[in-house]
Amino acid sequence: MTEEESKLLLKPSRPVGIMGYGSYVPRYRLPAKEVARIWTDGQSGLPIKEKAVPGLDEDVVTMSIEAARNALARSGVLPSEIRAVWVGSESHPYAVKPTSTIVAEAIGAVPNVQAGDWEFACKAGTEALVAAIGLVGSSMARYALAIGMDTAQGRPGDALEYTAGAGGAAYLIGPAEEALAIIHGSYSYVTDTPDFWRREHQRYPEHGQRFTGEPAYFKHIMEAAKALMQAVHTSPADYKYAVFHQPNTKFPRRVAAMLGFRKEQIEAGLLVPVIGNTYAGAALIGLTAILDMAEPGDRVLMVSFGSGAGSDAFDITVTEAINSRRDRALKTADYLARRTEIDYGTYVRYRGKLAT
Amino acid sequence: MEIPRHWRIKKQRYSLVGEVCPHCDAKIFPPRDICPECGNEAKTTYTFSGRGEVYSYSTVYDPPAGYEEQAPYMVALIKLQEGPLVTAQITDLGEKPVEIGMPVEMVTRKLRNDGGEKGIIVYGYKFRPLMRA
């Protein structure tokens, strides 16, 4: 790597990796054809098969707690050894009062812990992950927990209503020598691009229609992926798996092809067709499905995208430790298999869309 | 609103933290500092596994104040693996009917709002059909 390129890479001064990972997907599913039945007489094209919908008693706090418990179970680390609990989301239950303190309390990580909530549309989770890499990589802390989780909101009848799903994942970061996967480094590409937003006190987000594609999603993911691969001297052929932010089925498939990845490299991490766009959780939960089946030595590229806009890219290699830790918690496929289909009326009730 | 009470019992509610008796090893939930089995002092904290089975159950169609949004819902007596019997909601049932003896596991869920939409969100334990093998 040239000196200029190495300056762009976010590389910790001591090697770090993933100690444990855990996912969560709620049990309810709203088929896209059910949304089409209500709003377009079934005539519209469907961006996914179905999306995951949280139950009446679920939110980003409860879902983060379960994902964090799964990550802890895999890691074998005591909760009292964790020095940071960071939750990235755009659906934190409170406007003021951290999600992370409740999660930290529930997993037994309080009180000797840093806690905070992160926001950056769909890349809030990978923002937290980069920060956790920094905290552990600088030796400020031995273990830090980063979570990306969302119960995404879509305005009734809007294009986003088909895909705005619920789910996410938690990652416990620690020293590379103890890790089940090593994170060699990351790269972030950010510009001011207003493709999607939600103003204060507004219930549903707005988006720039087609503007969300080329200058936003594709531009940022392409630049982040290319710069990272250049900095670490890899090409798509070096990766067994790749996972990209997945707002629908089409975008991640197209960006993978544009970068030179084959279909087989992205299938394992492509969950959007069956759980929808899980926003801050999307790339992160895709990675859990990959780790659930990866072999030691497999290299993985993960690139998130958050509107507003930016992408974080990560270069990851799975270690031997995956074999002994994988089965210590529920796998992502277990959550996908747990499925209760609901109709639009039940969805309206569960998501609090009834005016009373 | 009962903020002090929610705050005081958060550990037992969020993660089934009870006590273990140092004299007779009985596991105690909810924590009460005196062992109900041998009557001695018992203040050692003990985190329950969260596993148990349905001892009995009923469906609530006419909910008490604060739970209207969730009705109808299932409440049950859960016999924890470590012994104590706790009352809790059963959640995430899907199509599967509840049965006495059904294995369940603890999950932390939203119990209710205290103070409506403006108030605090109360989180605590519920049980769901066991997902783990």
Q: Do B92 and A55 lie within an 8 Å CB cutoff? A: yes
Question: Which chain A residue has the Cα nearest residue B92?
Answer: A27
Question: Which chain A residue has the Cα nearest residue B106?
Answer: A66
Instruction: Tell me the pairing of strands A16-24 and A28-31.
Output: unpaired
**Rounded Cα–Cα distance for residues A86 and A129 (Å):** 8
* Domains identified in chain B, total number: 1
**A188 belongs to a structural domain:** yes
The pLDDT tens digits of the residues spanning A294-352 come to 999 999 999 999 999 999 999 999 999 999 999 999 999 999 999 999 999 999 999 98
* Domains identified in chain A, total number: 2
In terms of domains, do A127 and A262 share one? no
Considering only residues A352 and A174, tell me which one the structure prediction assigns the higher pLDDT: A174
CATH classification at residue A250 = 3.40.47.10
**A50 belongs to a structural domain:** yes
A81 part of the active site = no
In terms of domains, do A95 and A218 share one? no
**A314 belongs to a structural domain:** yes
**A100 belongs to a structural domain:** yes
In terms of domains, do A88 and A168 share one? yes
In terms of domains, do A164 and A202 share one? no
Name the band, by pLDDT with cuts 50, 70 and 90, for residue A5: low
B95 vs A55, A65, A340: nearest CB:
A340
**A350 belongs to a structural domain:** no
In terms of domains, do A167 and A44 share one? yes
B94 vs A27, A58, A66: nearest CB:
A27
Cβ-Cβ contacts under 8 Å, B70 against chain A: 56-57
**A355 belongs to a structural domain:** no
Q: How many CB atoms lie within 10 A of CB A247?
A: 29
Q: Is A72 at the interface with chain B, CB within 8 A?
A: no
Q: Do A59 and B121 lie within an 8 Å CB cutoff? A: yes
Interface test with B, best of A24, A29, A57 (most B CBs within 10 A): A57
Residues A66, A90, A127, A161: which is the catalytic one?
Answer: A90
In terms of domains, do A58 and A203 share one? no
Residues 6+ apart with CB under 8 A from A191: A220, A309, A310
The pLDDT tens digits of the residues spanning B11-64 come to 999 999 999 999 999 999 999 999 999 999 999 999 999 999 999 999 999 999
In terms of domains, do A131 and A198 share one? no
Residues A122, A127, A207, A220: which is the catalytic one?
Answer: A122
In terms of domains, do A77 and A139 share one? yes
The pLDDT score that the predictor gives to residue A158 is 93
Report helix angle A60-75 to A99-107, nearest 10: 40
What is A188-213 written as a DSSP string?
A: EEEEEE-SEE--TT-SS-EE-GGGGI
Distance of CA A35 to the CA centre of its chain: 24
Q: Are A173 and A146 in contact (CB under 8 A)?
A: yes
**A301 belongs to a structural domain:** yes
Percent residues over pLDDT 90 in chain B: 89
Name the band, by pLDDT with cuts 50, 70 and 90, for residue B1: confident
**Residue range(s) defining the domain that contains residue A194:** 181-324
A57 vs B14, B91, B95: nearest CB:
B91
Question: Which chain B residue has the Cα nearest residue A110?
Answer: B11
The pLDDT score that the predictor gives to residue B95 is 80
Percent residues over pLDDT 70 in chain A: 99
**pLDDT (mean) for A275-290:** 98
B109 vs A58, A105, A340: nearest CB:
A58
**Residue range(s) defining the domain that contains residue B124:** 3-129
In terms of domains, do A33 and A85 share one? yes
Q: Is A93 at the interface with chain B, CB within 8 A?
A: yes
Residue B129 has pLDDT above 80, yes or no: yes
The pLDDT score that the predictor gives to residue B133 is 53
Say if the ipTM goes beyond 0.95.
yes
Cβ-Cβ contacts under 8 Å, A330 against chain B: 131-132
Cβ-Cβ contacts under 8 Å, B92 against chain A: 27, 55, 338
In terms of domains, do A125 and A167 share one? yes
The pLDDT score that the predictor gives to residue A210 is 77
The CA distance from A293 to the nearest CA of chain B, in Å, is 18
B92 vs A27, A59, A330: nearest CB:
A27
Distances (CA, A) of A29 to A48, A53, A253: 12, 6, 23
**A352 belongs to a structural domain:** no
Maximum distance among all alpha carbons in chain A? 62
Q: Are B90 and B70 in contact (CB under 8 A)?
A: no
In terms of domains, do A128 and A215 share one? no
Cβ-Cβ contacts under 8 Å, A340 against chain B: 94-95
In terms of domains, do A185 and A175 share one? no
Buried b / exposed e along B48-77 (16+ C-beta atoms within 10 A): bebbbbbeeeeeeeeeeeeeeebeebbbbe
